[in-house]
Amino acid sequence: MSSATAFWAAGKEIVATPTPTTPAPAIQTPTMADALPKGGSEPTTQQSNGLVSKSKTNDHKPNGPQNGNWVVLTAPVNQTTLVYKTAPVIKRACWADEEDDDDDTFLTQFVTQPTQTEMTRLEKENAVKEEGIKKLEEVLATKTLRIAELEGAIRERDAYIDDLEHDLQKKDNEIEELKQKNHEQYVEIQELHCEVGEKDDHIKRTEAKLEPIPTTEDIKSLILHSGSSTTSDDTKVSFEMINTSEAEVALPKTPEPIKTPKVALLTSPKFTKSEGTTDTQKTEANHGPAFSDSTSPTFVTKETLKEGPPVPKPKKLTFPIDLSKYGKKPSTSPAASPATKPSPASRTAKNGETTPWVHLSKPSRTKTDVKPVFKPLADIRKMSFEERALFGNGQDVTVKLGDVALKTLPQYILMQCSSKAMEYFKANPKATSWKLPEGSMDAEAARAFLNWMHEMTYQGRVYSIALNTSPTKDEKNLRICRAARVLGVKNTYIGHFTKQFCDRIRAKEISCDTISAICEQSYPDNDPVLDCLANNLVDRKIRGSAEDKAFAEKVAARHPVLKAKMDNIEKRVRTTRRK
């Protein structure tokens, strides 16, 4: 410690002594090892009063920096440091500035190295990320190509689906055409059946008018009263000859174009009766008149007449089709009048009412034990005649409106067309009647619908219940709709009624009287016409003009049933709009 104090004191004396030409005497300084702090192995830089001591390992040349007028020479390690004065000008050193510069240099050594390392690390990370970006770009390009391929496949599938839909549409059109042709052929077959019935009746009437073939008694009445000769033989009876000069046989005229010969017995076959047998044997007839050895003529008498089996009746032509399967009523009398087709004028009634194409009378069909397959969702009008005919089997039940009997019809057809009847007769299989509340529907409308159900079991052609589109018949049509809903008939069977009313409601072509009739004949549990009217009025009230709103409110105030329906619909619409 004392040597270090002497070192710094000597330095101060040298600086204070002005010697411009002669170098300052060398001062013995302590070694660098003594100057270093204990525990440190690296060389350190010290500066005090302009004297700088630095350690060098392999260079003896003066390499110190110039500081003003002083030259600082740094010797190798364990050597002395000399300071020379080069100018007479005395300049005091600013120790604070030098110390700050050295501090900056010292700090820079520690700051620059970590910055370069961080930059190197960041460059490596950047290179890695660039490689990752390139890989992701390659994956993205691959995905893009795959998406393009899938889009092309989707377009091909869409085109294929369009082709299939087009083919399906063509098939549907062909099916409709075939159905139309089938229907036309079916109608033609029905007409042919009618013609066959007419021909059959005509044949029977013609056969009844034909006169029978003349018998032997008729021939006897034409023989002249003359003498007779008797010839008896127990073993042989033969017919010889008729003298045409004495008598002629006249036959009645027939409509045949070929004339009948007057003498018909000349070419008759010859019969013989032999002994020991009772069978009559037929022998070959002689050509021409038969001759005998008798010199006198042989007259036809009772004993000489031929006795043989009666002539069989001619065969009748029969149609090879069993008409009983088609509901054809067989004719019971040969003189029955032929069936007549309905004229076109009879198909259209007064006031534009239409009737079915053919209304045949109910055939006398024998019921069988075959039970049909019930299909509640199927339309009876789309079934074949054989399928519909099965619904005519089973027991007959009576439909009553209160105490009034409306119609007696087969139970199966009622169960097929009415869901309520299906439930009732399943719960009561032994019931023979179905009673509905009195006043729940119009009796005539209910009869019309029940008659239509019954006709579907034996009519050859299917049809819907008649609809009159005249506005004056609106109330009648609405009564039929209510009767169908009270009976539990599916809405499909009166769909043409619903469509006609809904089209007029949307076109605003319905009167207040018809609206009143709709509300009066409504069936709230199931009434598409009332629902259509309520929806239309709510739409006019929300989106329509002021006149439409006033009309909707006026109608709703007049009919409570319609108002309740409109309130529910309007509430639902407003709730949906808020969402």
Among all chains, which residue has been given the structure tokens 């700051």?
111
* Total number of domains in the chain: 3
User: Can you give the pLDDT at residue 102?
Assistant: 63
425 and 502 assigned to the same domain: no
Q: Which of the four pLDDT bands, split at 50, 70 and 90, describes residue 129? A: very high
| The pLDDT of residue 193 is above 70 | yes
Same domain? 476 vs 558: yes
Same structural domain for residues 511 and 550? yes
> Do 449 and 468 belong together in one domain?
no
Whether 154 is in a domain gets the answer no
Same domain, 478 and 434: no
CB 454 within 8 A of CB 360: no
- Judge contact between 519 and 562, C-beta under 8 A: yes
Q: Is residue 116 part of a domain?
A: no
Rounded Cα distance, 264 and 254, in Å: 15
In a domain, 99, yes or no: no
Q: Checking DSSP bridges between strand 270-272 and strand 281-283, what pairing results, if any?
A: antiparallel
For the chain, the first-to-last Cα distance in angstroms comes to 94
Residues 399 and 491 in one domain: no
Whether 430 and 490 share a structural domain: no
Is residue 456, in this structure, part of any structural domain at all? Answer: yes
Residue that terminates a domain, selected from 93, 122, 141:
93
- Asked if residue 442 and residue 427 are part of one domain, the reply reads yes
Greatest mean pLDDT among 97-101, 296-300, 317-321 lies in 317-321
* Residue 41 counted as domain residue: yes
CA 488-492-495 angle, to 5 degrees, is: 115
576 lies in the same domain as 473: yes
Q: Give pLDDT, residue 272.
A: 41
- Over residues 77-105, the mean pLDDT reads 54
pLDDT in tens, 131-147: 999 999 999 999 999 99
Average pLDDT, integer, range 209-217: 65
Tell me the per-residue pLDDT of 404-446, one tens digit each, with 9 for 90 and over: 999 999 999 999 999 999 999 999 988 999 999 998 999 999 9
* Residue 142 within a domain: no
pLDDT band at 544 (very low <50, low <70, confident <90, very high): confident
Of 93, 127, 147, the one marking the end of a domain is: 93
Domain of 541, in residue numbers: 464-579
Indicate if 377 and 478 belong to the same structural domain. Answer: no
11 pLDDT higher than 90: no
Q: Calculate mean pLDDT across residues 453-464.
A: 90
Q: Which of 96-110, 217-231, 472-486 has the lowest mean pLDDT?
A: 217-231
Establish if 249 belongs to a structural domain.
no
Q: From CA 4, how far away is CA 31, in angstroms rounded? A: 10
Residue 238: pLDDT above 60? no
Residue 521's identity, in one-letter code, is Q
E-only strand ranges, 402-465: 404-410, 433-436
Residues 427, 526, single domain; the answer is no
Domain assignment of residue 522, yes or no = yes
Tokens of 439: 């006043």
Query: CA–CA separation, 202 vs 195, rounded Å?
Result: 10
Among candidate residues 93, 113, 142, the one where a domain is terminated: 93
| pLDDT level of residue 483 (50, 70, 90 thresholds) | very high
Residues 429 and 450 in one domain: yes
Q: Is pLDDT at 55 greater than 50 in this prediction?
A: no
